[in-house]
Amino acid sequence: MPRTVFLYMLFISLFIAGCGTSATPEPIKTPTLKPRQTDQPSFEGNWTITMKHSGGIMGLSRSIEITSKGNFIVVDERANKTVTGILAENEFSKIKEQVSSLEYIPASKPDGMGCADCFIYDLEIQENGEKLAVQLNDISLPSSGLESLVSYLRGLIDIKLKK
Other CB atoms within a 10 A radius of the CB of residue 148 amount to: 12
DSSP designation for 35:
P
Per residue in 77-114, pLDDT (tens digit) is 999 999 999 999 999 999 988 888 888 888 766 554 56
Q: What is the pTM of this model?
A: 0.71
For residue 110, what pLDDT is reported?
A: 59
* Residue range 13-22: mean pLDDT, rounded: 46
| Mean pLDDT rounded to a whole number for the chain | 78
Nearest to 76 by CA among 62, 56, 65: 62
Q: At residue 151, what are phi and psi to the nearest 5 degrees?
A: -65, -40
Q: How far is CA 16 from CA 58, 87, 101, 139, in A?
A: 16, 42, 40, 20
The percentage of residues in the chain with a pLDDT greater than 70, rounded to a whole number, is 69
For residue 155, what pLDDT is reported?
A: 96
Of the pLDDT bands very low, low, confident and very high (cuts 50, 70, 90), residue 24 is very low
| Helix/strand/coil percentages in the chain, nearest 5 | 30, 30, 45
Nearest to 70 by CA among 50, 100, 48: 48
Residue span of the structural domain in which 128 resides: 2-162
For residue 58, what pLDDT is reported?
A: 83
Q: Looking at the predicted structure, is the pLDDT value of residue 23 above 60?
A: no
Burial class (CB in 10 A: 0-12, 13-18, 19+), 149: buried
Strongest mean pLDDT among 38-47, 74-83, 110-119: 74-83
State the CATH number of the domain containing residue 55: 3.30.1560
Helix axes 147-162, 89-100, angle to 10 degrees: 160
Instruction: Report the DSSP beta bridge partners of residue 48.
Output: 67, 126
Instruction: Report the DSSP beta bridge partners of residue 49.
Output: 66, 125
CA distance 84 to 92: 14
Strongest mean pLDDT among 15-19, 84-88, 110-114, 139-143: 84-88
Question: How many domains does the chain contain in total?
Answer: 1
For residue 31, what pLDDT is reported?
A: 35
Q: Are 128 and 154 in contact (CB under 8 A)?
A: no
